Structure 1
Amino acid sequence: MIPSVSVRDLTVRYGATTAVGDLTVELAPGKIYGLLGRNGSGKTSLLSVLAAYRKADGGSVRVDGEDPFENPRTMRDTVFIRDTLDLADGDRIGRILDFHARLRPRWDADYAAHLLDVFGLDRRTRPSALSRGQRSSLGVVLGLACRAPLTLLDEVYLGMDAAARTAFYRELLDDYLAHPRTIVLSTHLIQEVADLFEEVVIIDRGRLVVQEDTDTFRSRGVAVTGPAEAVETFVSGRTVLGTQSLGGVSQATLYGSLGDEEELRAEQAGLSIAPVGIQDLFVHLTSGEHTPEAVR
């Protein structure tokens, strides 16, 4: 069974620092989620709680209706691959794969062997002999071959070259389509991987900013460009994420789609309208100038 995930008023603290504060998010089963946030936004803390690596300091977390902390059933069906692998460097890759095969009921040894070939990894090699990118590739092998119903991937591409990242994205999508599960992919390479996401979850300073279907989210960003006075008049009363000016020309980035009548009014005012990419929209939403409530 593919689990749903329910997070209500989650708080995670490290001493006097609150990494996640009153975060509420719901993940329906069987989707690929893009978890986006700047460094220190609380992404890894959230994933660590979902994977039962640490206990929540407040609020509730339910994976398939159960608290995952020290819960053998949910832990068995959850895999969390971080940018730093938790491996014994003295073991060889083959032994590491065999160990995971004993722990993971859905482990596919043939698929693991296929992924080793894709990423050019040798079963006889020790992790200590791998480059940074190769260690990341090994993490991808472990994360995908176990086919855990809840798969959490946190910046797993670090050090990979463009060819390896492309192979990772292809394998993730192909295997997800063949073996559906809930996948949460935390990444900073938003533009490169955005087409994989079915939903986007953005958190900033430990709080939810946006959770939305990817196509809907794409439609939220609008860039309005033209004479400065006309732009200022047109965007009045709207949520303006940012502005740029050069001479007498201004560009304003708006949060919120425009209707046909509004687009016609913009055209009559000599303004041009263009979509804003997910990465640019993310940058504006997490710039620190807007509260989460302001863009909902």
Structure 2
Amino acid sequence: MSGYGVEVRDLTARYDTTVALDAVSFSIRPGVITGLLGRNGSGKTTALSVLAAFRRKTSGTVLVDGEDPWENERVLAGTCLVRESGDVAQDQKLKQTLEYLGDRRPLFSRELADQLMDRFELDPLTRPDRLSRGKRSAFGVVVGLASRTPLTLLDEVHLGMDAPSRYAFYDVLLADWLEHPRTIVLSSHLIGEIERLLEDVVVLDRGTVLTASDADTLRSGGITVTGPAEAVALFVDGRDVVGRQQLGRTAQATLIGARDDDAARARQAGLELGPVALQDLFVHLTDRPSAVGTSEESR
């Protein structure tokens, strides 16, 4: 399987008196698209910055492809972190940036870059500081995907892009990953849009890890129940309900914590059971009063 794996153990990152990450531990499997999910201030940007050696950890262990990434030429050559609007020279034409990356990134695909430039209607003779926010974000997508590094870290790169551009980004990311497998970590607030891409999920909240698992296992922790409103109300009575909807006499409830007898009870009551969206689970996890952490993330 292609791509770099990541092992993080007891990672703490501080900025003066601010604790951005508090002894967090998680793994990222090689060759997998992993979602790094969390609200603002959860520690996502700090975590990605440490993995890419943009920031130095305070303590703990961080291994990328089995080695500490800090000042590690081999690992850094195979890692690309792109944050919102890209980390590129603002006073150089887009064409110059692509030429620079093509000379220094051994796996950089100029063909893919040119295709994405056309798809996002980016003028190669324009400078980033003369682009709209959405176009700057689109250029960050070009850089991140065309680099094809074994570890590609995309931190909210889609912010500012309109819906058609975002969905074009998701489609290209998935298609190119299938053709050129690598490890991709996708940080996003738009969980409903990206969940179809994700095989694994890490959820951060206020500097701590709430959960880290494959997406299917996380989804299996809850169910949706749909049917006559009175039957649904009886079915969910006393359960951990995190969402309700009703249209006329038909209702749907989202539950956390499936039970062994749920399927039999649902059939007997004439109810339908379904999966829970990652977005609903994310909201539930990060809204829990017991979710603890110490600080907000520094961006």
Give TM-score, length-normalised by structure 1: 0.88
CA contact (8 A) 2:87 2:140 kept: no
Q: CA deviation at 1:215?
A: 2.1
**Shift in CA distance, 158/243, structure 1 to aligned 2, threshold 3 Å:** closer
Q: Which amino acid aligns with 1:231?
A: V
Please identify, of 8-17 and 143-152, the stretch whose mean Cα deviation from structure 2 is larger. Answer: 8-17
Please identify, of 134-143 and 106-115, the stretch whose mean Cα deviation from structure 2 is larger. Answer: 106-115
Q: Is 1:219 matched up with 2:224?
A: no
Q: Which amino acid aligns with 2:22?
A: G
Q: CA deviation at 1:45?
A: 0.5
The equivalent residue for 1:197 is 198
Aligned residue for 2:80, secondary structure, equals strand
Q: Which amino acid aligns with 2:237?
A: E
Q: Which amino acid aligns with 2:281?
A: L
- Cα RMSD of the aligned pairs, angstroms, is 2.4
Once the two structures are superposed, what CA deviation does each residue of 1:63-109 show, in whole Å capped at 9, x if it has no partner? 01110011111111000000143332221111111111122111111
**Shift in CA distance, 17/271, structure 1 to aligned 2, threshold 3 Å:** farther
Q: CA deviation at 1:28?
A: 1.3
**Shift in CA distance, 243/77, structure 1 to aligned 2, threshold 3 Å:** closer
Please identify, of 84-93 and 271-280, the stretch whose mean Cα deviation from structure 2 is larger. Answer: 271-280
Q: Percent identity?
A: 50
Equivalences for residues 126-275 of structure 1 within 5 A: 126-223=127-224, 226=230, 231-233=236-238, 235=239, 240=240, 242=242, 253-259=254-260, 261-265=261-265, 268=268, 273-275=273-275
Q: Which runs of 5+ in 2 are unaligned?
A: 293-299
Please identify, of 182-191 and 265-274, the stretch whose mean Cα deviation from structure 2 is larger. Answer: 265-274
Once the two structures are superposed, what CA deviation does each residue of 1:183-212 show, in whole Å capped at 9, x if it has no partner? 000001111111000111111111111222
Flag the structure with more relative contact order, 1 or 2, with Cα contacts below 8 A and sequence separation at least 6: 2
Q: Which amino acid aligns with 2:115?
A: H
Q: Which runs of 5+ in 1 are unaligned?
A: none
CA distance in 2, matches of 1:148, 1:76: 8
The equivalent residue for 1:2 is 3
CA distance in 2, matches of 1:222, 1:291: 22
Q: CA deviation at 1:226?
A: 4.7
CA contact (8 A) 1:231 1:251 kept: no
CA distance in 2, matches of 1:274, 1:212: 20
CA distance in 1, matches of 2:92, 2:130: 11
Once the two structures are superposed, what CA deviation does each residue of 1:11-35 show, in whole Å capped at 9, x if it has no partner? 1112222111111101110000011
Q: CA deviation at 1:290?
A: 3.8
Aligned residue for 2:35, secondary structure, equals strand
The equivalent residue for 2:48 is 47
CA distance in 1, matches of 2:41, 2:156: 13
Aligned positions, number: 284
Q: CA deviation at 1:134?
A: 0.5
